[in-house]
Structure 1
Amino acid sequence: MDKDKYAIVDIGSNTIRLVIYERDASGRMKEVENVKAAARLRNYLNEENVLEEQGIALMIQTLKSFQEVARHHKLKTVSAVATAAVRQAVNKNEILLRAERETDFRIRLLSEYEEAYYGYLAVINSTSITDGITIDIGGGSTEITMFRDRELKEYHSFPFGALSLKKGFVKGDLPEEHERAALSAHIESELGSLAWLKDAQLPVIGIGGSARNLIQVNQALKEYPFAGVHQYEMTLGEISSLLGYLEGQTFEDLQRTDGLSKDRADLIIPAALVFEALCSEVKTNAFVMSRKGLRDGIFYEDLIREYGISAYPNVVEESFYEMASDFRIDMNHAISVTNLALEFVRLLEKNQLVSYTGKELIDLKRGAFVFNVGQYIDHESSSRHTFYLLANRTIDGMNHKDRLKTALVASYVGKSALKQYLEPVQEWFTKDEQRMIRTTGAVLKFVYSLNSTKRDIVKSLNMEVKGGTLVIYADCRADWGPEAYQTEKNKKHVEKLFRMPVEVIFHHSD
């Protein structure tokens, strides 16, 4: 059966995009096509704020090429929106009328507030950040919002973007030293006009292509071992250091830089200067990337209309339900094992063998939910597949360190494999954190054996240390033969962890 497909045409000042989404079994929208044209409409907006005929013709030509793709995919609905370049044009009505007359698309012109609001909406529904400042640098405008407790408190749209800054301050491809000084002074003056930004000490969340390219260059230079930019974090010092690197390159070198789109080579420095200045103004050391932006925000608005809510109550939980759908996770089994794992840890704590914090219990529950999920691909090498899938998949609401921690716990098959997976990122975790990852992985490996046939036969657990042996009592409601076999195989992980033999006693209690 064909899945319903939806699309958004985003007519920006720098690029025009057609993005096609498919609604999956979990009800979430998944991006399946992304077609881009670097039209740079802002360059055709003259001093009288008239979008010149050449720019209009280029936009119409691009939309006509997009409509061929849209027709092929037999889309259920298509939303077309335009932002600053069209919004700032005095001949905007003529532009919209021509687009509607000459193409399949009826364009909705977004206000400054709507453009800022959709970016904010995307961030709070795809990250776990409760208080922050968003910034979306387009070609002709820059939208900034402040939210607290996930509620929008302030917004502003500056009439400059990466393209207009470059056009207004830089004569060549890259800024000269005096041009950079003038550019920086202008940016700092503009940002300084917003009193609510000064010393806010909130994380800055970057949205859009300029932020994405900055992050990608940083990852390439660091030889970052995992995929994905969503919720990747840079410090202010790293932004400044990266700016120094970019400014030391020739234009030709920048066009060949890994992670940087060739059509943004002349825009990355003006954009990076804005990010650096904003983090300095806010006095934050956290610049976080959100892969979700304006287009996603429009879909989240539909969520509000459909369910009467403004945001997902728990972004991470929504992401895990999405994985349950994608990888056909048996929810009843996952919940049963999670409960067994929590009971097992409580008994370990009672016997003074471990001590879990609240955050570590959350890590355990997340790992339990997706434990050994790689068997969806191949049972024989499920540990490697589990680690790769979780370490490289975007999980909304989780930063990269927490995502990796979940991957390490859920893929646990033993100390040697854990050491191998940890090798490229040893510095990410302290010795105590590594020990807890191993503990949680070993606990889950053992506890999954107690429900190996997915019959939920274990009603309750008990435990005692008796004569130097850890004795585990499993009260069962049915025959436990297969479970006894699996626990005998996997109890070695617990034995190695606590350096004592383990005996598992299965029994019926009437």
Structure 2
Amino acid sequence: MSKQYYAIIDVGSNTVRLVIYLRDKSGRLREVENVKSVARLSTFLHDDGKLSKDGINKLISTLNSFNEVLETYQLEESICVATAAIRQSVNQEEIIDNVSRKTGVDMRIISEKEEAFYGYLAVVNSTSISEGYTVDIGGGSTEVTYFKDRKLIHSHSFPFGAITLKQRFFKNDLPTEDEFADLRQFLKNSFATLSWLRDGKVPLIGIGGGARNVVQIDQNLKEYPLAGLHQYKMNDSDLSFIKNYLFTLSMKKLQKVEGLSKDRADIILPATEVFHTLYETVQAEGFILSRKGLRDGVFYELLTQGMGTNLFPSVLEESIQELINDYDLNIKQIHHVQHLAKELFDQFHEKGVGSFSKEDWKELKMASYVFNLGQYIDDEASAQHTFYLLANRTIDGLMHIDRLKLALMASFKNKTVFKQFIHPYKKWFLKDEQHRIRKLGAFLKFCYCLDSTRRGAVQDLKVETEKDDLKITLYCTKDYMPEEYQTEKQKKHLEKSLKKKIELNFEEVES
């Protein structure tokens, strides 16, 4: 099957960006190329509302340079969308005509409503957040939405962005205290005009370059140990600290801040103030970054055509399927181990062994799909590879702490290795939670040992309690010697977690 590439050019008020995606086996789009040009088109808008000739020429030269990149790919589809700077121009037709004639690019100007919708769509199709607010501050506009049960309820586009706020409120590159106070009051008043922007007590999801830079700064200041930005969570005090920290710096120092793009140094303060003021307005319960935004939303709409809905049924299930495809995991074995794991889990739960909960089963089932996937790279160091890959790979639908839990369960080898993996993150978990994760990891490893040869030799099981000990009878339809050897060898990890002795009894039965 030939590779399917898709391209989108996003003509923003601050940057013009080309992104090329590869459609993978699961049908999802994976970013393979990302080229940015800081055009700052909104600065070319004259008082009469026209985008100047210099602005048009800047856009044309940028698109022509992108065309050279596009020529190296065989594309299934190429889309070009433009937002606030072009949308607010009174000479839109002139711009579109010039772009078409001189670059061959058909540029589509998306409405304020569409821009907000695409941001929302990107968030609900790449996270498991069912209710929240989104905010996307560009150079010339700011889109906000509110969604509940994954459905868009409200949306609005404010006619100001990071560049236009800076131009309006700051005389120089950096604001005075009075200018910053005036900006804050203006934002408070603006957000107060929408009755639905208040007391939400749900997450505020940041989209776009400004939000990404704020998160990168926060991660660098904290020496954050995990890779990835998508679904990273900050709180009110984090946003406040970043804002106050950046305000104290000179432009020269701002341009050297780790995590802050040099070309955003002069507009990061207005963007940060938008996030912080909106956070306080809606009384958010966290600020979460979505790496997926307008560009992704446009393609999500394209990919879901004919489905009757723009929403993927389950974001997390899609991500797990992507991992199964990427690491060539044996789905037949996974389903058989899940069957045995469910039997063992239900009988433990029924007999009060291990204090397992319904939530434990959800996490166990998810980890069972990707258990020991690091074997794909190297069998000898599979636990290390499994942990690193899962802990440091973006998994749509999982917050960072949940991704870490998944990595710890799916990479479980023994208590020593578990302690080694969890050590840098010990402060993230209480002792009881550490024990629970280790118990689930040991349980999962035990269940995989029951199918160590991938033949489905063990078909069923029965748990009996004898005083403080457990007797597990395993009914087999094939020679079970390899499974018996592995489970006898590994059961000690489950015994330590449950604080019970386990007697294993293998019985051959007719298939």
TM-score by length of 2: 0.98
Q: Secondary structure at the match of 1:43?
A: helix
Is 2:87 aligned against 1:79?
no
Q: Distance in 2 between matches of 1:500 and 1:391?
A: 31
Q: Report the AA paired with residue 164 of structure 1.
A: T
Q: Which residues of 2 match residues 69-218 of structure 1 at below 5 A?
A: 69-218=69-218
Give 3-state SS (helix, strand or coil) of 1:471's partner.
Answer: strand
In 1, the alpha carbon distance for the partners of 2:2 and 2:257 equals: 40
1:16 corresponding residue in structure 2 = 16
Distance 2:90 2:487 in 1: 73
Q: Deviations over 1:446-484 (max 9, x none)?
A: 110111111122221112233654321111111112111
| SS of match in other structure, 2:433 | helix
1:506 is aligned to 506
Aligned partners of 1:303 and 1:339: how far apart in 2?
A: 33
Between the aligned partners of 1:483 and 1:47, the Cα distance in structure 2 is 77
The separation in 1 between residues aligned to 2:226 and 2:307, in whole angstroms, is: 35
Distance 1:44 1:474 in 2: 74
Unpaired runs of at least 5, structure 1: none
The answer on whether the counterparts of 1:303 and 1:309 sit within 8 Å (CA) in structure 2 is no
2:340·2:459 contact (CA, 8 Å) conserved in 1?
no
CA distance in 2, matches of 1:304, 1:469: 53
Is 1:292–2:292 an aligned residue pair? yes
Q: 1:182 to 1:346 in 2, by over 3 A?
A: same
* Aligned pairs (5 A) from 1:46-57: 46-57=46-57
Whole-Å separation in 2 of the counterparts to 1:188 and 1:486: 63
1:98 CA displacement: 0.5
Q: Where does residue 399 of structure 1 map in the other structure?
A: 399
Shift of 1:99: 0.5
TM-superposed CA distance for 1:426, in Å, is 1.1
- Between 1:351-360 and 1:232-241, the stretch displaced more is 351-360
Q: Residues 459 and 501 (structure 1 numbering): CA distance in 2 closer, same or farther, change over 3 Å? A: same
Structure 2: unaligned runs, 5 residues or longer: none
Q: Deviations over 1:121-179 (max 9, x none)?
A: 00111111111111100000001111111111111100000011111111222111111
The letter for the 1-side match of 2:269 is I
**Which residue type is aligned with residue 373 of structure 1?**
L
SS of the residue 1:13 aligns to: coil
Q: Which residue of 2 aligns with 1:326?
A: 326
Q: What is the distance in 2 between the residues matched to 1:42 and 1:357?
A: 55
Q: Which residue of 2 aligns with 1:41?
A: 41
SS in 1 for 2:181: helix
Query: Could you tell me which residue of structure 2 aligns to residue 338 of structure 1?
Result: 338
Compute the displacement of 1:185 (Å): 1.2
Q: What is the CA-CA distance between 1:500 and the residue it aligns to?
A: 4.0
Paired residue for 2:233?
233
One-letter identity of the residue aligned with 2:225: P
State the distance in 2 between where 1:69 and 1:180 align: 41
Aligned to 2:438: 438
Moved more, 479-488 or 269-278: 479-488
Which residue identity lines up with residue 437 of structure 2 in the other structure? I
The Cα shift of 1:375 comes to 0.7
Q: Distance in 2 between matches of 1:284 and 1:200?
A: 6
CA distance in 2, matches of 1:467, 1:112: 68
1:76 is displaced (CA, Å) by: 2.2
CA distance in 1: counterparts of 2:278 and 2:249, whole angstroms: 24
Q: After superposition, what is the alpha-carbon deviation per residue over 1:25-44, rounded to whole angstroms, capped at 9, x for unaligned?
A: 11111000000001100111
- Please state whether the residue corresponding to 2:71 is helix, strand or coil: helix
Task: Give distance in 2, aligned partners of 1:103 and 1:306.
Answer: 32
Q: Secondary structure at the match of 2:35?
A: strand
For 1:63 and 1:493, the matched residues in 2 are separated by 59
Rounded Cα–Cα distance in structure 2 between residues aligned with 1:270 and 1:468: 63
- 1:104 and 1:452 map into 2 onto residues whose CA distance is 58
Matched residues in 1 for 2:190 and 2:423: separation?
45
SS at 1:307 equivalent: coil
Q: Distance in 2 between matches of 1:4 and 1:332?
A: 28
* Distance in 1 of aligned mates of 2:123 and 2:53: 36
Give the TM-score normalised by structure 1. 0.98
Q: 1:467 to 1:169 in 2, by over 3 A?
A: closer
Within 2, Cα distance between the matches of 1:313 and 1:337?
25
More displaced stretch, 231-240 vs 334-343: 334-343
- The CA distance in 1 between the partners of 2:3 and 2:71, in whole Å, is 15
Tell me the distance in 2 between the aligned counterparts of 1:355 and 1:314. 28
The residue type equivalent to 1:321 in the other structure is Q
Residue 273 of structure 2 corresponds to 273
> What residue in structure 2 maps to residue 487 of structure 1?
487
State whether residues 198 and 281 of structure 1, in contact with CA within 8 Å, keep that contact through their aligned partners in structure 2.
Answer: yes
Paired AA for residue 58 in structure 2: L
Structure 1 counterpart SS, 2:72: helix
Q: Residue deviations 1:77-109, cap 9 Å, x none?
A: 210000000000001110011101111310011
The answer to whether the 8 A contact 1:345-1:354 is kept is no
